């Protein structure tokens, strides 16, 4: 039997941003920093975002600008992902 970790998201309407960081790695991050990760390609970042947000592709936003993973958990005041630490 394969064990599957449940999604981290508590709301199906959670916005998840995906994009590349300055190092070229793919990042997926929930808008308030509740969950996120680094990925080797876009497909894996998108797959993770879908799993975590309850399979709602309409709430996944791919950014053209750099995005840095910030797992501080504090909501961004401007609604955008703040530049921060890379885990």
- Nearest in space to 76 (alpha carbons), one of 26, 17, 18, 32: 32
**Is 5 part of any domain?**
no
Q: How far is CA 11 from CA 2, 34, 37, in A?
A: 25, 11, 18
Q: What is the pLDDT of residue 4?
A: 53
Q: CATH code at 40?
A: 3.30.160
Q: What is the pLDDT of residue 83?
A: 40
Q: How is the chain split among helix, strand and coil, in percent rounded to 5?
A: 15, 20, 65
What's the domain range around 87? Answer: 11-87
**Is 23 part of any domain?**
yes
- Measured in residues, the chain has a length of 87
Position with higher pLDDT, 40 vs 71: 40
**Is 3 part of any domain?**
no
Bridge partners of 77, per DSSP, are: none
The whole-number average pLDDT for the span 78-82 is: 41
**Is 26 part of any domain?**
yes
Q: What is the pLDDT of residue 14?
A: 84
Q: How many domains does the chain have?
A: 1
**Is 55 part of any domain?**
yes
């Amino acid at each position: 039997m394969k064990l599957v970790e449940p999604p981290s998201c508590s709301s199906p309407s959670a916005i998840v941003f995906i994009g590349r960081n300055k190092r070229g790695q793919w990042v997926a991050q929930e808008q308030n920093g509740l969950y996120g990760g680094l990925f080797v390609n876009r497909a894996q970042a998108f797959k993770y975002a879908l799993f975590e947000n309850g399979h709602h592709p309409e709430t996944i936003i791919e950014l053209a600008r750099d995005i840095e993973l910030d797992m501080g958990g504090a909501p961004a005041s401007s609604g955008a992902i703040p530049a921060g630490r890379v885990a």
